[in-house]
Amino acid sequence: MRKISIIFFIFLLFNITITASADQPRILRLGFYTTKDLNLSPDALHTIQNTSPTEYVSVVLFDSNEIVQEFIRLVPKSEKYALPPIQIGYEIIIIGDGEITIS
């Protein structure tokens, strides 16, 4: 019985750790990212924010057919901006010297 309890506890601990890490905001800098790279949940609502104190950042969201779905230019220390639902195969390009947070 004790072995089963220990295995169950380890299983629960592992699942809680995975769930907590999936909800963490991601900090992105200049570059090209895919939904697979960022581990973003499909059809979930995500927000994006420029956390840089002085740098402007542009964000381009492409769908799987390479059609622009969203183009955003974020001012320094911007408010959170809601992105459209992101599907599998979408790509995000970050342009600028600042950094953004996606959650």
For residue 74, the tally of other CB atoms under 10 A from its CB is: 23
Q: Is the pLDDT of residue 98 over 50?
A: yes
Residue 69 lies in a domain: yes
Beta partners for 70?
A: 61
Domain count, the chain: 1
Residue 19 lies in a domain: no
Instruction: Check residue 41 and give its pLDDT.
Output: 82
Q: Which two tokens stand for residue 1?
A: 């019985």
Residue 77 lies in a domain: yes
Residue 71 lies in a domain: yes
Residues 6+ apart with CB under 8 A from 82: 45, 46, 47
Where in the sequence is the domain holding 95, given as residue range(s)? 26-102
More confident call, 79 vs 43: 79
Residue 92 lies in a domain: yes
Helix or strand (DSSP H, E) at 20:
helix 2-22
Q: In this predicted model, what pLDDT tens digit does every residue of 4-48 receive, in sequence order?
A: 656 656 666 666 544 444 557 888 899 999 888 888 888 788 899
Counting Cα atoms < 13 Å in the Cβ hemisphere of 31 gives 9
Mean pLDDT of the chain, nearest integer:
82
